[in-house]
Structure 1
């Protein structure tokens, strides 16, 4: 996204410089030239504001998408950990039953 922003900024800057130079070298009166520069600057300002809004919206959508993705991954990890904990508990319960049986056998012999 940084490359796209830099590219757009470069294109806009180049366009603005070219337009200003073209106006300055045009054979018009000073007042007409100044008005053209002011009009061109207003147009470019509006275009940059529009591009900034688009970039902000795009960034917001990207952040929202990444947040949703992260939420899904966290949910998967928690669920997976829960299943693993259940497996560990089941294994420990089985071993505890075996130890109780061995202990009963030892108590009968004594």
Structure 2
């Protein structure tokens, strides 16, 4: 999730909480009822925010897990490729050594 999306969601939640609080404060009702409504609204907002945080956390865990698997796969591929290249290099050097030995033997004669 991008940083802008997270900020937008937080701003929307804050705006909704402020709007709900102002609506409750300006509604004609007894003080005890108003305090209860504010407390209930606060609890609901807290639960919504916790739920959203849990969703974002799970989303990030999933993305990091996938990235880790991709990185491990690329590393394994790199190791296998380097081993293959090492074997090719050794074979090439052995062929060159054999050619040089042959040339040296021919030059002696």
1:103 aligns with 2:88: no
Unaligned runs of 5+ in 1: none
* 1:45 matched residue in structure 2: 46
Deviations 1:55-82 (A, max 9, x none): 1111111110000000011011111111
TM-score under structure 1 length normalisation: 0.93
Unaligned runs of 5+ in 2: none
Q: Secondary structure at the match of 1:28?
A: coil
Give the count of matched residue pairs.
Answer: 108
Q: Secondary structure at the match of 1:27?
A: coil
Runs (4+) of structure 1 moved beyond 2 Å? none
* 1:57 matched residue in structure 2: 58
1:79 aligns with 2:80: yes
* 1:4 matched residue in structure 2: 5
Distance in 1, matches of 2:26 and 2:45, equals 19
Instruction: With a CA cutoff of 8 Å and minimum separation of 6, indicate the structure with the bigger relative contact order.
Output: 2
